[in-house]
Structures are given as C-alpha cells and as structure tokens.
Amino acid sequence: MKRLLMVFIIISGLLTSCISQNTDKTNKTNKTNNTSQKGITRSVQDQGQDKGKLLEKGKLGLINENGDTIQERINVPEGFERVEVEEDSYEQYLRSLPLKPHGSKVKYYDGKTKNKDVHVAVVDMDVGDRDLQQCADAVIRLRAEYLYGRKLYEKIHFNFTNGFLADYPTWMSGDRIVVEGNKVYWAKKTSYSKDYSSFRKYLDMVFAYAGTLSLSVEMKKIPLDDMQIGDVFLKGEDPGHTVIIVDMAVNDSTGEKLFVIAQSYMPAQDIHVLKNPEDEELSPWYSVNFGETLNTPEWRFNRDQLMRFPD
C-alpha cells in the first residue's frame, strides 16, 4: 500500500509538472498591428519623438550589466517609473533578488547547462542537487525564503497535491511527515530546530509532493488590473506551469503598467528572469496590455490566470 500511495503521489506531481509546450510565435504582421499596444511605442507617440531612435536607445539601455540585483540590473523604459513598494515587503524582496554575473547560463540541478536561450538574468540561489525545484517549486521557494528571513514562520505552509497540509511550524517543532499505507501524517522524529539546513529539508519535502495543481487550489485569482509584484501567472491543470512577477513599473501619464517575470522549469533549474519574445525592444519588460494571451518563451497563459497567495 505504501508503494501504491507513493506511486499515486509521484504520478500526481508529474501530471502537474512543467511540461514543455510548443508555442506558435506571432507573425510579423500581427506584431506590427499590435505595436501601438507596446509601452515604449505609446510613450514615443505621446512625446512626439521619433520611434525608431527611442526604441534603439531603449534596447541598449534596459540592461545594466554591472547590476547585482533585479532592480539594479534591469532599467525601466523611458517614461516609466518603478512602482512604489513598502520597505521589507515581499515585493521589495523580489525586486532585490541577487543575480549571478551578467551572461551567466541557466544550470540544471545536475550541473548541466540549459541550451535554450530564454533569459536575461539568473537568480543567485541554489537549486539543490535533486530534480525537485521546478516551476511551482520556485514560487514556493521564493515565498518561503522571504517569510523565513522575516521570521514569519507561522505563515510558511503549503499543500501537497493530495491535500495534506505541510506547515513549517510543525516541522520546526521536530515532527516529520510520514507516509504509511493510505495515511500521510506527522510524527515526532527529532528536537525543535529552526536552522536553515532543516528549513531546506522541509522545502525539499514540499517540492517533492506539491505542484501547480496544489498551488492553483491554494491561491486566488486576481484581476489583471490589480496586478502586484509577487503575483503569478498559473495554469494548474495537466500540463501546468507558472511564472512569478518580480518587478513592475508604471507610466504616470498613460497609467500603463509593465512587469518582469521569472521562472524555473523542468528538469529542476536555476530561477531565471525571462526575455519578452514578443517585443525585443521592450524586453525583459512585458506590458499588461498583452491582449488575451501572455506569450512567454516557454509557455502561454490566459489573462485570467493571474493568481496570488492569500494573506
């Protein structure tokens, strides 16, 4: 029975894993027709400047190769300002994520290099040595790391795909998750500890049995107009994937919002900041005015798939 349950859980996790999806690229005609929706272009039109010159300037100036964090590495397009966030907030944490040196490659958990060029930056955070930290797990990792760093331990809790609640305070008390037959339960195994090494073992346990499907049950849908840093685009069905918003900017004149997204993928790999395949001049920023479908380098999301963790 134990083996049957473990097989069920593993299959459930695989069904909700980040399975590669072939996305059709928008043709040049559609891209030209949609140009008026791009943030930089509208900014140019508003200011009555030559579009080509400003787009060229924007392309050359949006990446600061010497920046050590997302906020320092990625400049905002002309006419935009970063949205204000509270000090020590989750939003501030995400835009302050440390980055590996410019030009770094995305590495898999086994040290191999990801060949597909989809990113502009790589987050300087370990991925572990097992095939665990995939797409949903990266979202879980970032939220948990922030809460752990702020000592908000009681807020660290995630559901397994089968519905079991894996909360960090119980783990911290010395209990461990036991799978026995048809039962999944807590049992006292060790003494109290909030050491980081123990916290990482907790996360690995969550990564093994949680996924996009369990996150889709935990999180709530958010209107696109209410987007915040920390929200995610999430498809929880089979196949599923998720990306997380790590920075935002706004044009005070037009009210248009831009956002930057990051992801992990499968097999487990470094969290990385994504390019915008639909607009090389605006990349890595995306405009909220993307229409009905958000096209990212490795996935497509619908505009109604924006979600947020409840407080």
Q: Is the pLDDT of residue 147 over 60?
A: yes
Please give the residue that has the higher pLDDT: either 207 or 178: 207
| Entry pTM | 0.83
90/86 Cα distance (integer angstroms): 9
Residue 294, pLDDT > 90, answer yes
What is the model's pLDDT at position 67?
Answer: 97
Rounded CA gap, 196 and 214, in Å? 25
Whether residue 134 is predicted with pLDDT greater than 60 in this model: the reply is: yes
Residue range 216-246, pLDDT digits in tens: 999 999 999 999 999 999 999 878 999 999 9
Confidence of residue 18 (pLDDT cuts 50, 70, 90): low
Q: What confidence category does residue 180 fall into, taking pLDDT thresholds of 50, 70 and 90?
A: confident
| Per-residue pLDDT tens digits for 39-96 | 333 333 333 333 333 333 344 489 999 999 999 999 999 999 999 999 999 999 999 9
DSSP per-residue string spanning the chain: -HHHHHHHHHHHHHHTSB-----PPPPHHHHHHTGGGSHHHHHHHHHT--HHHHHHHHHHHSB-TT-SBHHHHBPPPTT-EEPP--TTSHHHHHHT-BBPPTTPPPBBTTSPBP-S--EEEEB-----SSTT--HHHHHHHHHHHHHHHTT-GGG-EEE-TTS-EEEHHHHHTTEEEEEETTEEEEEE-S-----HHHHHHHHHHHHHH--HHHHHHHSEE--GGG--TT-EEEE-SSSBEEEEEEEEEE-TTT--EEEEEEE--SS-B--EEEP-TT-TTTTT-EES--TTEEEETTEEEEGGGEEE---
pLDDT of residue 1: 41
Q: Is the pLDDT of residue 22 over 70?
A: no
**Interval 281-303 mean pLDDT:** 97
Whether 5 has a pLDDT exceeding 50, the answer reads no
The per-residue pLDDT for 115 is 95
> Using one digit for the tens of pLDDT, what is the confidence trace for 262-282?
999 999 999 999 999 999 999
Q: How far is CA 226 from CA 202, 230, 242, 288, in A?
A: 32, 12, 18, 10
Q: What pLDDT, on a 0 to 100 scale, did the predictor assign at position 21?
A: 43
